[in-house]
Amino acid sequence: MNLTERFLKYVTFDTQSDEERGTTPSSPGQLVLALELEKELEAIGLEDITLDDNCYLMATLPANTAKKVPTIGFIAHLDTSPDMSGKNVTPRIVSYKGGDIVLCAEENVVLSPVMFPELNDYKGQDIIVTNGKTLLGADDKAGVAAIISAVQYLKDHPEIEHGKIRIGFTPDEEIGQGADHFDVEKFGCEWAYTIDGGQIGELEYENFNAAGAKVTFKGLNVHPGYAKNKMLNASLLAIEFASWLPVSQRPEHTAGYEGFYHLTNMSGTIEEASLSYIIRDHVRTLFEEKKEQLRLLVKRMNEIHPGSTTLELRDQYYNMREVVEPKKYIVDLAFEAMEAVGVKPLVKPIRGGTDGARLSFMGLPCPNIFAGGLNFHGRYEFLPVNSLEKSMQTIIKITELLAQKS
């Protein structure tokens, strides 16, 4: 089974994570995929294969050199985003010549370079697309496929000298829980790389500081005909509260290192309403200021309407740069590997997060490397085959260069 075939197989597994379920893994399909991967790793001949009750799959490719080479790891996640269906994914390979790609004629779903100009970068290449009704799942089944194909290649080519390599596959990354039960000590690496980036060349060791917030409003319902000076409409309180946050700090108005407040869910009646937000910023001080702003606005609402408003605020992860930058050589190694396989490295901050962010603060420095996909989490997701192949080649080259330098 070659790399592309492997990826096309993996996307047929429905592995959407589910934030409401409260289990690990949060969806049964993730375990089904993990069991299939376990069989593949056994067939390849890897060692120390373990799949625990929480759906963390780990394995070892032993060193084939007497040199003292640091043990490193490669990590990807099993789940796909709950933002769109990952069931009955029907991918197809398109030899892209330019122009529009009709994904679903009956629903007029078209992948167009007018909306997605990055398509123009892949003229003359084979790209894998959806049928316009589901996401594709390149986030992060492309990473899973690249890692497994890389270790199989190294197993089949013992002339490539390398140290001990650990691989790991995690559940529930898309709902921020991918590192919850990851056993760093058991994984046993000096550092690792998540293969969870987007376009070819991405190399990231900075990410958002992240928190989640839920603001709840209590109202008072009376008959609207007799409501004067009595009714307190919780839904209107929520609308008013949302209007107090700066418009310029919404995701649709930010880029680069700019942070944001993102309203992800709202519900409401007269009696009770709620707003759910994610708060993001690369700079820790600005991140803390954003959280404090929410606290102040809740205080302000309670001064106007005593006892009406409560805030639940939870940090999710922090910027891995604090941990990785003192060990910048692990980023430099990936940079060199990309150049060696003909990829131009694109070092930039992640406007999001990966398992690697939390793992870095758990003692496993973990930069992020591209897997090749674009337009994640939706029907317009696509994966250039060449980008996937270059991700696999980068993994192989990292292990080769590390052995040469040891």
Residue ranges of the binding site for Zn(2+): 77, 139, 174, 196, 377
Distances (CA, A) of 23 to 14, 31, 185: 17, 12, 23
- Pick out the residues of the known binding site: 77, 139, 174, 196, 377
Q: Which two tokens stand for residue 324?
A: 């990785």
Instruction: Give the start-end residues of each E strand in 120-223.
Output: 126-129, 165-170, 191-197, 202-204, 209-218
What's the half-sphere exposure (Cβ side, CA atoms, 13 Å) at 165?
Answer: 27
Per the CB < 8 A criterion, the answer to whether 229 and 404 are in contact is no
Q: Is residue 109 within a helix (H) or strand (E), and if so which, with residue range?
A: strand 109-111
Tell me which of 173, 202, 355, 381 is the catalytic residue.
Answer: 173
Residue 243 CB neighbour total at 10 angstroms: 8
Is 79 known to be catalytic?
Answer: yes
Per the CB < 8 A criterion, the answer to whether 406 and 163 are in contact is yes
User: Strand pairing partners for 110?
Assistant: 102
Per the CB < 8 A criterion, the answer to whether 189 and 399 are in contact is no
How far apart are the C-alpha atoms of 383 and 96, rounded to whole Å? 12
Which alpha helices (H) appear in 305-372, and where do they start and end? Answer: 321-324, 329-340, 355-361
SS3 helix, strand, coil % of the chain, rounded to 5?
Answer: 35, 25, 40
Q: Which two tokens stand for residue 358?
A: 């939390």
Q: Where in the sequence numbering do the catalytic residues fall?
A: 79, 173
